[in-house]
């Protein structure tokens, strides 16, 4: 990719990471990702907003060269995670006159992780304004999207909110701009589920901050730039609201088919009564898909066999993720099969203590389910229906 003009003063100079398939050694990236970095040429000063992942630093420097950028006065760091900050030391070395503009929380992180010298920093606070001559940058603190130091930089004259991870999507694409593309919305939802969902309350506050700016453009640091900010803002409002949908997510593992029979029965029952249901065989599922299904669903039913008296390790993994991602799930069920006994509920429940959810009575079955067990599963379905109506 080459530098892309957004307007006469603002240019995208980031990087496309088309073939990256994993982030943080955890998060699948089926569509790759991008690291958006932006140059703003004011009449007096030039600013660079965020940088790129160290794996792609050559792309940023190539783009700066293409734009013939000889001098950078300010490097703005909206977020200290290394996919946006990792090459700041190299940028400061190439442009030694540049000051690193960020907030005090970010300064601590950047100093510790990247060993940036004290005299390079210019610290800003909420609502501070930095002049580039004919253009001004306003800094708006938007903490916990998704680290404590995150902030948004607002280019007032052009109405562009540079929000870094906030509103982003892991999507490498040749189309820098998006309007109302469902593909972008899906990737943004996946991104929200994986990265932002644990911080719903803070996100709600930060959405209000961004809305109060009334931006014409939201330019995040992953994925396309929104020319219609209402598109992504309204989606975020829905995802982060308390409103749930009558959907049932069933992450499951089955070793010898007993738990699979339970899951098949539940899925059929929910389908019969037209409750939307999402079964995921954990051992072959993309955890991003599971996370995405948790954004709106009212109900999660974990289904697991017993291994060494407790749940299957894959069930532990998903239960741990549920506790960490803190979706707005209202009801949690646990079903499964055992051979000679077990403590499945006792060990899984504490992992879900973070969630503000009601734990439904577990249904744990010895071996294959029989009629009495199917009757109990019917009662579980009836209870889920009643709670969702």
Q: Which residues bind ligand FEO (CB under 6 A)?
A: 79, 81, 83-84, 146, 165, 221-222
Q: How far is the CB of 122 from ligand FEO (least distance, A)?
A: 22
Q: Exposed (0-12), middle (13-18) or buried (19+): which is 68, by Cβ within 10 Å? A: exposed
Nearer to ligand FEO, 90 or 349 (CB): 90
* Whether 210 contacts 163, CB under 8 Å: yes
Q: Can you tell me which residue has the tokens 């700016």?
A: 213
Nearer to ligand FEO, 82 or 281 (CB): 82
**How many CB atoms neighbour CB 215 within 10 A?**
23
Q: How far is the CB of 346 from ligand FEO (least distance, A)?
A: 35
Q: How far is the CB of 65 from ligand FEO (least distance, A)?
A: 24
Q: How far is the CB of 17 from ligand FEO (least distance, A)?
A: 11
Q: How far is the CB of 277 from ligand FEO (least distance, A)?
A: 32
* Whether 18 contacts 35, CB under 8 Å: no
Length of the chain: 389
DSSP 136-191: EEEEEE-TTSSSTT-EEEEEGGGTEEEEETTT------S--EESS-HHHHHHHHHH
Nearer to ligand FEO, 221 or 240 (CB): 221
Cis peptide leading into 146, omega within 30 of 0? Answer: yes
Nearer to ligand FEO, 20 or 84 (CB): 84
Task: Tell me the two tokens of residue 208.
Answer: 């209000």
Sign of the CA dihedral with 190 first, then 194, 196, and 199 last: positive
Q: How far is the CB of 177 from ligand FEO (least distance, A)?
A: 20
Nearer to ligand FEO, 195 or 311 (CB): 195
Nearer to ligand FEO, 23 or 280 (CB): 23
* Whether 306 contacts 338, CB under 8 Å: yes
Between CA 301 and CA 233 the distance in angstroms is: 30
Nearer to ligand FEO, 221 or 329 (CB): 221
Q: How far is the CB of 221 from ligand FEO (least distance, A)?
A: 6
**How many CB atoms neighbour CB 182 within 10 A?**
7
What does DSSP say about strands 15-17 and 33-35: parallel, antiparallel, or unpaired?
A: antiparallel
Q: How far is the CB of 123 from ligand FEO (least distance, A)?
A: 21
Rg of the chain over all Cα atoms, to the nearest angstrom: 24
Residue 227: alpha-carbon gap to chain centroid: 21
Between CA 116 and CA 213 the distance in angstroms is: 32
Backbone angles phi, psi at 291, to 5 degrees: -60, -45
Q: How far is the CB of 93 from ligand FEO (least distance, A)?
A: 22
Nearer to ligand FEO, 79 or 190 (CB): 79
Q: Is 230 helix (H, G, I), strand (E, B) or coil?
A: helix
Nearer to ligand FEO, 120 or 146 (CB): 146
The residue nearest ligand FEO at its CB is 81
Nearer to ligand FEO, 63 or 80 (CB): 80
Distances (CA, A) of 356 to 161, 238, 242, 330: 33, 18, 11, 7
Q: How far is the CB of 51 from ligand FEO (least distance, A)?
A: 11
């Amino acid at each position: 990719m080459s530098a892309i003009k957004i307007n006469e003063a603002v240019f995208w100079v980031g990087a496309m990471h088309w073939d990256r398939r994993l982030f943080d050694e955890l998060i699948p990236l089926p569509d790759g990702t991008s690291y958006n970095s932006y140059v703003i040429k004011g009449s007096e000063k030039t600013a660079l907003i965020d940088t790129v992942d160290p794996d792609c630093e050559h792309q940023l420097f190539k783009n700066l060269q293409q734009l013939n950028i000889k001098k950078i006065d300010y490097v703005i760091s909206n977020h200290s995670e290394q996919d946006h900050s990792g090459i700041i030391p190299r940028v400061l070395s190439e442009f030694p006159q540049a000051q690193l503009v960020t907030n005090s929380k970010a300064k601590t992180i950047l100093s510790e992780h990247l060993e940036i010298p004290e005299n390079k920093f210019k610290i800003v606070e909420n609502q501070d304004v930095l002049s580039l001559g004919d253009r001004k940058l306003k800094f708006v603190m938007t903490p916990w999207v998704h680290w404590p130091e995150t902030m948004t930089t607002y280019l007032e004259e052009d109405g562009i909110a540079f929000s870094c991870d906030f509103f982003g999507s892991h999507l490498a694409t040749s189309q820098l701009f998006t309007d109302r593309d469902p593909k972008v919305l899906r990737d943004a939802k996946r991104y929200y589920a994986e990265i932002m969902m644990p911080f719903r309350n803070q996100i709600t506050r930060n959405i209000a901050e961004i809305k109060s700016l009334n931006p014409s453009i939201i330019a995040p640091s992953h994925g396309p730039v929104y020319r219609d900010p209402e598109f992504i803002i309204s989606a975020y409002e829905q995802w982060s609201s308390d409103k749930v949908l009558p959907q049932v997510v069933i992450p499951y593992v089955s070793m010898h088919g007993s738990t699979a029979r339970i899951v098949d029965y539940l899925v059929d029952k929910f389908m019969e009564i037209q409750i939307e249901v999402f079964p995921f065989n954990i051992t072959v599922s993309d955890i991003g898909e599971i996370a995405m299904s948790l954004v709106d669903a009212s109900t999660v039913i974990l289904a697991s066999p017993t291994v060494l008296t407790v749940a299957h390790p894959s069930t532990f993994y998903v239960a741990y993720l549920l506790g960490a991602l803190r979706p707005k799930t209202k009801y949690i069920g646990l079903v499964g099969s055992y051979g000679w006994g077990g403590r499945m509920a006792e060990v899984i429940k504490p992992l879900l203590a973070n969630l503000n959810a009601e734990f439904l009575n577990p249904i744990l079955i010895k071996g294959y389910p029989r009629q009495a067990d199917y009757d109990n599963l019917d009662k579980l379905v009836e209870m889920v229906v009643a709670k969702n109506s």
